[in-house]
Chain A
């Protein structure tokens, strides 16, 4: 889901950056700022957890694997603002240090995965947790991947419509909505099932660790 620099037209990344800046301000404000003695270490820890978590491979049948996003788990455990800011920091480090994603596409990644992904994951968990906690955790992991994939597919798919030459030739990402939705959403829905299962299992493992530490 990491879109490289050069795939999005300025007509797309400009407004996305304009929307992301107030969203980041909101996230920092809701996470009680960068000057609080408890918030700052927690934010750093969640960023480190998300960064290290992205190196965990979810094994798939057939011997292949995909990387964990931890969007659902972070949103459930730490809330949307903290997860949003931490994931943004992870995307920044990935773009600047590893060349994964990009600077112009950073706002898309932050808004789609960091904000919409964690907000939908937290909402799904809240909706289900009272009666079906396990289902709520699974749903959080699933929608934390599925919702961002729809948003990324929509943004990529409108590129030929908003940025083309006089003869209609695309100047940036060339494929329309039908192709991007078909290519990205079913694949990420399948990955979301793995992420959902892992969110449930990780929460159980965390509970066990907590009980063992208290003993």
Chain B
């Protein structure tokens, strides 16, 4: 229940933050979110720095230069834009790790199962990708050529589909063996 309430509060906060235009309110809310992150603050700041800061810098510099050339004073809208993006992403990165997605989605059996299967298979494929990258490094003296890199990426994509379909088949059989069909009423 706690996870579902927290998820609902987070979604409401995102919607509310996207409607605010006052930079002072947005800055205060951002400070609150960062203060509330506690020990996760360094990780939140690091994630912020690579997920939104590069694109924010690009857009902000473009906006600032365009306004400078047009002789328009628009510091407040630019500040509101930057603070709003940082606030919502900061909120996502500091609140969502506190929510257990399996408990939040417990109201739907299908969604929970989809999440469990999807996450477990994604982890298997991520491990496979790591192994394939090591294999490429072991086989190649020096930096792989562009052609080798492309062939490796294509082989990995093909292997993901092949392995994913195999896992889907095995899971379907396991679900049948455990009476997934029979206990649906």
Interface residues of A (CB under 8 A from B): 4-8, 10, 13, 33-35, 37-38, 40-49, 51-53, 55-61, 63, 65, 68, 70, 73, 77, 89, 95-100, 102-104, 165, 169-175, 179, 197-198, 201-206, 208-210, 213
Contact B117 A40 (CB under 8 A): yes
| C-alpha spacing A96/B18, complex, angstroms | 17
Interface of B is mostly: helix
> Closest B-chain residue to A170, C-beta based?
B77
Supply 30 A–B pairs (Cβ within 8 Å), ascending by A.
A4-B88, A7-B85, A33-B110, A37-B176, A40-B117, A41-B171, A45-B117, A45-B168, A48-B121, A48-B122, A48-B164, A49-B161, A56-B153, A58-B150, A95-B92, A102-B92, A103-B11, A104-B15, A104-B18, A165-B21, A165-B77, A171-B21, A173-B59, A174-B59, A198-B154, A201-B155, A202-B154, A204-B158, A206-B162, A210-B162
Contact B155 A205 (CB under 8 A): yes
Contact B59 A44 (CB under 8 A): no
Measured CB to CB, the closest approach of chain A to B97, in angstroms, equals 8
B96 within 8 A of A: yes
Question: Which residue of the partner chain, among B63, B72, B80, B146, contacts A59 with CB atoms under 8 Å?
Answer: B146
Question: Which residue of the partner chain, among B118, B128, B158, contacts A209 with CB atoms under 8 Å?
Answer: B158
Contacts of B154 in A (CB 8 A): 198, 201-202, 204-205
| C-alpha spacing A77/B113, complex, angstroms | 23
B47 within 8 A of A: yes
> Closest A-chain residue to B151, C-beta based?
A201
Contact A175 B62 (CB under 8 A): yes
Number of A-B pairs, beta carbon distance below 8 Å? 217
Contacts of B66 in A (CB 8 A): 174-175
| C-alpha spacing A104/B180, complex, angstroms | 35
> Closest B-chain residue to A210, C-beta based?
B162
> Closest B-chain residue to A48, C-beta based?
B121
Question: Which residue of the partner chain, among B19, B93, B161, contacts A99 with CB atoms under 8 Å?
Answer: B93
